[in-house]
Amino acid sequence: MVTLRAFSSYEALLKLAERYPELDLASVETCLAFLNTTAEVYDALDAHFARYGLSMGKFTLLMQLLQAPDQELTPSDFAERAGVTRATITGLLDGLEREKLVKRKPHSADRRRLSIHLTPQGEQLLLQMLPDHFCRTTNLMANLSETEKQIFIELLAKVRAGSLAMREP
């Protein structure tokens, strides 16, 4: 049975289903299982990144830089790629720069803009961390067969498509 963090017990969920006929038990249970699993994975990722003095946000920015060594990425580029605000990116970059993992430089095409660059220390951290990171990612998914992994990706795409129902006014 699913851990029902939003409900005091399964019986409480059943009582709500009696009161609200539009409550589909299977849908709610599936959603709660997904949310509980997501929370556990995020907790595990937070612990993993903390071992390296990083957060998921900082790791994401470092990976973007590692994958685009010849590009002059700006804070706006990071915000657009990560789907967050520029203020969020500024805070992450401030921390990464304090830790000497990235460096801000004037943009070659427009000196009013800044480009962000991975420092040798930032690259070294990633080189040290990525083998462990990829092993842990593999272990996270180790209980799924190759076929199940593909089905899981397809199922998650369907859940993402359904997420619009929660956003609509």
- Look at residues 109, 102, 91, 114 and name the one whose alpha carbon lies nearest to residue 66: 102
62 within 8 A of 54, measured Cβ to Cβ: yes
Indicate if the pLDDT at residue 122 is higher than 50.
yes
Tens-digit pLDDT profile for residues 15-41: 889 999 999 999 988 988 898 899 999
Percent of the chain with pLDDT over 70: 96
Indicate the pLDDT class of residue 43, thresholds 50, 70 and 90: very high
Report pLDDT digits (tens) over 87-116.
999 999 999 999 999 999 988 888 888 899
Stated pTM of the model: 0.84
| DSSP secondary structure letters along 134-150 | HHHHHHHTTTS-HHHHH
Query: Which one-letter DSSP state was computed for residue 2?
Result: -
What is the chain's mean pLDDT, rounded? Answer: 91
Domains and CATH numbers, the chain: 56-127 (1.10.10.10)
Instruction: Round to whole Å and give the CA distance between 59 and 96.
Output: 10
Instruction: Name the token pair of 152.
Output: 């899981």
